[in-house]
Amino acid sequence: MKFEDQRKIMIRDQIAGRGIKDKNVLNAFQKVERHLFVDDDVKHLAYNDSPLGIGRGQTISQPYMVATMLELADLNKEQIVLEIGTGSGYQTALLAELAKEVYTVERIDFLIQRAKSTLVDMGYDNIFYKSGDGTLGWEGGFPTCSKFDRIIVAAGAPVVPASLRDQLAIGGKLIIPAGDRAMQELIMVERTEDNFLETRHGGCMFVPLIGEEGWHEV
Ligand code: SAM
């Protein structure tokens, strides 16, 4: 079956079929070709609803989980988004379709260089890249940006990093898996004028967020 048909079935059965309603999210999933973000030996699995290896012990996340995070984020073309954990660049492409600008941070230099090359080849010109520890947010990144409307973390943290809370704009939303090293809960933090409100959105399993305000490397 052609990749385009596999993608339609994935969206129908695994994303819309499991309750994702946001039309913009569904359109972005239709547009971004997941098979272009994985190695040749797993391309035939690209439209299964599962994470896949992308090298260096990391994974491209499960499509339904990515869709859940994107729907929770309630994105629009006015927003500036910080993404932590670029990985293959697949979620970065979806964010670039849904928001004005995406600032993405990945701790493994090989992965961010490969993702950047894929995303530049695809023509995305609203993405900025930083190789380093994303638990500290965009600190030291170029162009400078100190506040974000949305922050999406694609790795599991022990707790919500203080630096990420600080870099959230008032009215902004931070989506992050947090809990123990193997299993987490999806948490959304909303910043109001004088508070941070936390809501919980179900269990999940992500690779660990490793860094100064995350887990230690083993
Ligand atoms: N969303 C990605 C995609 O679509 O391919 C998958 C992300 S993968 C589940 C998690 C990524 O977070 C890995 O590439 C890992 O190297 C990265 N990561 C872990 N700790 C990090 C940190 N402190 N800063 C930046 N990236 C980190």
Residue with tokens 């670039």, as numbered in its chain: 96
Q: β-pairing, 184-191 with 196-204?
A: antiparallel
Q: CA-CA distance, 29 to 94, in Å (whole number)?
A: 7
The confidence score (pLDDT) of residue 107 equals 98
pTM above 0.95, yes or no: yes
Q: How far is CA 2 from CA 9, 35, 90, in A?
A: 11, 11, 19
Judge contact between 85 and 176, C-beta under 8 A: no
Cα 137 to ligand 1 centre (Å): 13
For the segment 193-212, the average pLDDT, to the nearest whole number, is 97
Report the residue among 38, 107, 110 best suited for mutation to probe ligand 1: largest number of ligand atoms under 8 A from its CB. Answer: 107
Phi-psi region of 6 (alpha: psi -120 to 50; beta: other; left: phi over 0): alpha
Exposed e or buried b for every residue in 169-192, given b needs 16+ CB within 10 A?
A: eeebbbbbbbbeeeebebbbbebe
3-class DSSP state for residue 90?
helix
Q: What whole-number distance in Å separates Cα of residue 16 and Cα of residue 5?
A: 15
Q: Which domains does the chain have, with CATH numbers?
A: 3-204 (3.40.50.150)
- The residue from 61, 88, 117, 163 that is catalytic is 61
Of all protein residues, the one whose alpha carbon is nearest to atom 18 of ligand 1 is 85
Q: What is the pLDDT of residues 101-136, one digit of tens each?
A: 999 999 999 999 999 999 999 999 999 999 999 999
Nearest residue (by CA) to ligand 1, atom 12, is 85
pLDDT band at 218 (very low <50, low <70, confident <90, very high): confident
Please give the pLDDT value at position 187.
Answer: 98
Q: pLDDT tens, 156-169?
A: 999 999 999 999 99
61 an active-site residue? yes
